[in-house]
Amino acid sequence: MKKIIITALSILALVSCQSDDAYEDLNRDPKNPTQVNASFLFNSATKSLVDQMTSTNVNTNIFRMLGQHWTETTYVDEANYDFNTRNITNAHWSEMYRDVILDLNTAKNNTEATPISPTFSQETKDSRKAQIEILSIYAWANLVETFGDIPYSQSLDPGTYILPKYDDAATIYADLLTRLNATIPKLSNSGFGAIDPIYSGNVASWKKFGNSLKLRMGIRIVDVPSLSTVARSAITTAIADGVLTSNADNASLQYESASPNTNPVWVDLVQSGRSDFVVANTLVDFMNNLSDPRREVYFKQNLGSGVYKGGPYGANNSFLAYTQIGDIVANPTNPASLLDYSEVNFYLADAAERSISGTPALAAEFYNKGITASFEQWGASGITSYLLNPNVAYATAPGSWRVKIGNQLWLAMYNRGFEAWTAWRTYDIPGFNIPAVSELPVPTRYTYPISEQNLNKTNYTEASAAIGGDEQTTKLFWDVN
């Protein structure tokens, strides 16, 4: 440091006409920049978000178990809803706050601080901030849907709020919709352009993604009496402005064949040589009863051609004795989605049944489109006969419209564990199993991290009381049925 100062002073004496900013640059270590490029932060946060939602590492998340698509073999704590031994809730909490939301917030601030120039227009700045905002809202909504009340208004100002308070979950959710309404119209050009890992700067696709997220969030809270008007407005405006219209619009990250950009499921299962999971009987039995053709692509046929047998959920299962995860899921280049066309169609069917957009007569059309989109996305054949199956056809499938939509949404969300679990929470679909060892009921939320209980105790205690107790079975504000 002394050498740097002496050098700087010498140059100051010799070249006094240089600007002060030039000499400040001499004290900056190029290997440890004080301001990280917004593009790097945006890409890093995007990958962190998709990785977190996709990974099947039990130290990261256990959403595939909560959705009862997969179950475990040797180590069965997580399938029996043990959140604390591996500190799973803290892993999700810290990843979303630190590596997604904080990085996106810094990217937004750095973008705002970048001066307008011939190569960086105001439109580009606004579009980049809008793309950042949409992903931030996605992450915030996920935290609310996972935990309930969370630190929000004070969470990104550690200099002022070392121990942030928890905000009311319903209030946060309404504010997120307000933010989404404000930011979607600001998408006017390619923003991050070719370096955007989701849409390569396609403005139309970003708008569809933003509107589809708004549709999803509206459906999520439409049954909450105090938010019904907000929800219905979100649903109608999202549909009117344009949601995803094909699988080409899916908000997906395309993984690569070389590390560190491979799909995390491949890392967890193939690269690591693990045999920790088989497909759960909850899913296999349901699909067997429907003769669902997607079994051929969802699963391996390791028990023989056309033979599928799910491991009893939560039990110690033999890896070789039960149906294993399919090759597509474990492919290193398999893309992972934050939101897809199939999912959107089921929400459109829901909106039609409620006469929010369209009429109940249109629900079957969207329901069929949702199933068809899933088949197309997975490259599965047999869609025509499947839709004619009396237990699948919208007019004859068993259960209320909520159960019909919920069941097929749950099936379509294979490989998207969080949304599979949330389909169960949203539509109250029957058929989930009680785990064999713990015999605990299926959780309706993640409990708060132990670190919050220890380090932010006062605010944690208040938040726990506000939501009705920090329990796995406490229903969140939007889970009202």
Residue spans per domain, the chain: 68-82+275-334+340-446, 87-254+447-480
Residues recorded for the chain: 481
CATH of segment(s) 68-82+275-334+340-446: 1.25.40.390
Residues 117-130, mean pLDDT to the nearest whole number: 96
Residue 371, pLDDT above cutoff 70:
yes
| CATH topology agreement for domains 68-82+275-334+340-446 and 87-254+447-480 | yes
Residue 65 CB burial class (10 angstroms; 0-12, 13-18, ≥19): buried
Q: Give the whole-angstrom CA distance, residue 315 versus residue 64.
A: 15
Q: Give the whole-angstrom CA distance, residue 209 versus residue 198.
A: 10
171: which 2 tokens?
Answer: 């209030």
Q: Give the whole-angstrom CA distance, residue 69 versus residue 417.
A: 8
pLDDT value of position 320: 97
Q: What are phi and psi of 252, to 5 degrees?
A: -125, 150
Q: Mean pLDDT of all residues in the chain?
A: 93
User: Is 311 within 8 Å of 66 (Cβ atoms)?
Assistant: no
For 89, the enclosing helix (H) or strand (E) is helix 88-94
Residue 30, pLDDT above cutoff 90:
no
pLDDT value of position 36: 79
pLDDT value of position 192: 96
Residue 205, CB-side half-sphere exposure with 13 Å CA sphere: 20
pLDDT value of position 8: 38
Quick one: residue 280, left, alpha or beta (phi over 0 = left, psi -120 to 50 = alpha)? beta
Residue 374, pLDDT above cutoff 50:
yes
Coil, strand, or helix at residue 11?
A: helix
User: Is 262 within 8 Å of 271 (Cβ atoms)?
Assistant: yes
State the pairing for strand pair 70-72/277-279.
antiparallel
The residues with which 252 forms a beta bridge, in sequence order, are 337
Rounded to 10 degrees, what is the CA torsion of 142, 147, 148, 150? -90
Angle between helices 341-353 and 363-378 (to 10 degrees): 170
CATH 1.25.40.390, domain 87-254+447-480, yes or no? yes
pLDDT value of position 199: 98
Higher pLDDT, 20 or 417: 417
Residues 72-82, mean pLDDT to the nearest whole number: 96
333: which 2 tokens?
Answer: 């280049």
For 252, the enclosing helix (H) or strand (E) is strand 251-253
pLDDT value of position 158: 86
pLDDT in tens, 380-427: 999 999 999 999 999 999 999 999 999 999 999 999 999 999 999 999
Sign of CA dihedral 235, 241, 243, 246: positive
pLDDT value of position 17: 36
Task: Express as a percent the part of the chain with pLDDT over 90.
Answer: 91
Residue 32, pLDDT above cutoff 50:
no
CB count, 10 Å around CB of 441?
12
Against a cut of 0.85, is the pTM above it?
yes
* Closest to 70 (Cα-Cα) out of 334, 277, 286, 326: 277
* Closest to 259 (Cα-Cα) out of 326, 333, 201, 187: 333
Q: Give the whole-angstrom CA distance, residue 449 versus residue 163.
A: 14
User: Is 267 within 8 Å of 59 (Cβ atoms)?
Assistant: no
* Closest to 302 (Cα-Cα) out of 281, 277, 321, 329: 321
Total H helices, total E strands in the chain: 20, 4
- Confidence band, pLDDT 50/70/90 cuts, at residue 3: very low
pLDDT in tens, 274-333: 999 999 999 999 999 999 999 999 999 999 999 999 999 999 999 999 999 999 999 999
User: Is 281 within 8 Å of 313 (Cβ atoms)?
Assistant: yes
pLDDT value of position 11: 32
pLDDT in tens, 164-218: 999 999 999 999 999 999 999 999 999 999 999 999 999 999 999 999 999 999 9
Q: Give the whole-angstrom CA distance, residue 294 versus residue 150.
A: 38
Q: Give the whole-angstrom CA distance, residue 196 versus residue 210.
A: 15
Q: Give the whole-angstrom CA distance, residue 317 versus residue 339.
A: 32
Residue 433, pLDDT above cutoff 90:
yes
Residue 347, CB-side half-sphere exposure with 13 Å CA sphere: 31
